[in-house]
């Protein structure tokens, strides 16, 4: 029997994706029906003011359990994680947060017979030697601890689908670009910081080289993917936790050219650091035909439309 989404728990809600996803979920499902949680208090009061917010360490099974019971949660969107850059400086910590959190969420979802669980994966599941356009079903040999936890998260999620009949879903997000909340220590963060610095200083020091090419996505498409995949009929899904998700792919030179269409004197300096090796181990692009076929995935944004929107939003906020 199909279980409805009525009460959603969002972990990692104060982060880059959560802080923009929660308001949209509250609009769709009702303010009181979306319980935002994070280890840290959100920078923006909106998450507090528009509905319930709880401090929660995702490694704490009992606290998650009490929130599920108290609010009669039926769906979990599990965003809390340590991303690739910080993960490489603290690999044990990254494993602990990412795996303990995911296993806690899945075990509690089985215990309370939840309707759905959404856990994002990442392009970090791939490692060196992959084809430039990563296939949907392929060998996964990540070179980062973050990537290792994302592969393990996909596999254990799929195991819970088969073993316990739990409805677990997930996409391999590209680098997410957004203007509201700064990203939390990832390798693709340069593609966000470049817009902030273009607006503030008309100059950017980039931690990867100009020909570094990665798959990227603008936040509205990132959010659309969560909503669309959560609503897709389970019977139509052949994949569950690991959908490749394409949108745009560009190198830093092309990103700079796009910004210069709006800010012709924008300057860039390249100072690659440890992030370069991580970026080089990820594919340039992904084949997302499974997502297109199984739940009609189609992105709306391209590089120039995103650049124009990012610069407009950041200028309105940072230069007022």
Q: Which residues are catalytic?
A: 146
Say how many residues touch ligand SER, by CB under 6 A: 9
* Residue 149 within binding range of ligand SER, rule CB under 6 A: no
Partner interacting with residue 184 (select from ligand NAD, ligand SER, none; CB below 5-8 Å by kind): ligand NAD
| Residue among 21 and 237 whose Cβ is closer to ligand NAD | 21
Among 75, 84, 212, 242, binds ligand SER (CB under 6 A): 84
The 260-279 contact track toward ligand SER, x by CB under 6 A, reads --------------------
Question: Binding to ligand SER by residue 142, rule CB under 6 A?
Answer: no
Write the CB contacts of 236 (distance below 8 Å, at least 6 apart in sequence).
294, 295
- Among residues 211, 193, 176, the alpha carbon closest in space to that of 259 is found at 193
Nearest CB to ligand NAD, comparing residues 41 and 316: 41
CA angle 44, 95, 209 (to 5 degrees): 70
Measured from the CB of residue 57, what is the shortest distance to ligand NAD in angstroms? 4
Binding site for ligand NAD (CB under 6 A): 11-12, 14-18, 38-40, 56-59, 79-81, 83, 97, 120, 122, 173, 175-176, 183-184, 186, 188
φ/ψ of 76, rounded to 5, equals -120, 130
- Number of C-beta neighbours around residue 134 at 10 A: 22
The one of ligand SER, ligand NAD, none whose footprint includes residue 187, by CB under 5 to 8 A per kind, is ligand SER
Give the nearer residue to ligand SER in terms of CB position, either 191 or 230: 191
| Residue 183 or 283 having the CB closest to ligand NAD | 183
Give me the DSSP letters along 111-129.
Answer: HTT-SEEE--EEGGG--TT
CB of 81 to ligand NAD, least distance (A): 3
**Reduced to 3 states, what is the DSSP secondary structure of residue 89?**
helix
The residues in 169-198 that bind ligand SER, with binding defined as CB under 6 A, are 175, 186-188
Question: For residues 147 and 153, what is the distance between their CA atoms, to the nearest angstrom?
Answer: 10
- From the list ligand NAD, ligand SER, none, pick the one residue 163 interacts with, judged by a Cβ distance below 5 to 8 Å according to partner type: none
Residue 156 near residue 272 (C-beta atoms within 8 A): no
Q: What is the DSSP string of 208-256?
A: S-TT-EEEEEEHHHHHHHHHHHHHS-GGG-S--S-EE---EEEEHHHHH
Contacts of 301 (CB under 8 A, 6+ apart): 217, 218, 220, 221, 247, 248, 309
- Dig out the tokens for 248 from the structure: 């745009």
Residue 16 in contact with ligand SER, rule: CB under 6 A: no
Q: Closest residue to ligand NAD, Cβ-based?
A: 15
Interface residue with ligand SER, options 124, 168, 177, 290 (CB under 6 A) = 124
**Which two structure tokens, joined as six digits, stand for 309?**
């929107």
Least distance from ligand NAD to the Cβ atom of residue 240, Å: 16
Q: Which partner in ligand NAD, ligand SER, none is near 314 (CB below 5 to 8 A by kind)?
A: none
Q: Which is nearer to ligand SER, 19 or 188 (CB)?
A: 188
Judged by DSSP in three states, 318 sits in: helix
How many Å apart are CA 169 and CA 158, to the nearest integer?
Answer: 9
Q: What whole-number distance in Å separates Cα of residue 184 and Cα of residue 198? A: 20
The entry of ligand SER, ligand NAD, none near residue 17 (CB within 5 to 8 angstroms by kind) is ligand NAD
* Residues at the site binding ligand SER, with contacts judged by CB under 6 A: 83-84, 122, 124, 146, 175, 186-188
């Amino acid at each position: 029997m199909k279980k409805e989404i009525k009460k959603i728990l969002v972990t990692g809600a104060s982060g880059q994706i959560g802080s923009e996803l929660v308001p949209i979920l509250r609009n769709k499902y009702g303010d009181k029906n979306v319980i935002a949680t994070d280890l840290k208090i959100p920078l923006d009061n909106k998450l507090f003011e528009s509905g319930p917010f709880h401090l929660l360490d995702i490694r704490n099974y009992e606290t998650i359990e009490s929130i599920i019971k108290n609010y009669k949660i039926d769906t979990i969107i599990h965003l809390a994680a340590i991303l690739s850059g910080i993960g490489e400086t603290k690999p044990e910590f990254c494993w602990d947060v990412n795996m303990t959190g995911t296993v806690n969420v899945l075990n509690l979802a089985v215990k309370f017979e939840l309707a759905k669980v959404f856990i994002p994966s990442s392009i970090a599941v791939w490692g060196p030697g992959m084809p430039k356009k990563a296939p949907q079903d392929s060998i996964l040999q990540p070179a980062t601890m973050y990537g290792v936890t994302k592969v393990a998260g996909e596999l254990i999620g799929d195991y819970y689908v088969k073993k316990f009949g739990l409805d677990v879903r997930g996409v391999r997000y590209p680098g997410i670009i957004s203007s509201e909340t700064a990203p939390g220590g990832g390798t693709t963060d340069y593609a966000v910081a470049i817009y902030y610095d273009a607006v503030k200083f008309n100059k950017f020091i980039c931690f990867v080289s100009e020909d570094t090419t990665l798959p990227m996505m603008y936040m509205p498409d990132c959010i659309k993917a969560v909503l669309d995949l959560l609503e897709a009929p389970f019977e139509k899904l052949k994949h569950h936790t690991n959908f490749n998700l394409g949108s745009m792919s560009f190198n830093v030179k092309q990103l700079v050219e796009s910004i210069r269409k709006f800010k012709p004197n924008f300057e860039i300096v390249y100072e690659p650091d440890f992030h370069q090796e991580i970026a080089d181990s990820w594919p340039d692009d992904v084949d997302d035909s499974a997502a297109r076929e199984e739940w009609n995935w189609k992105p709306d944004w391209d590089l120039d439309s995103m650049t124009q929107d990012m610069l407009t939003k950041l200028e309105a906020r940072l230069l007022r």
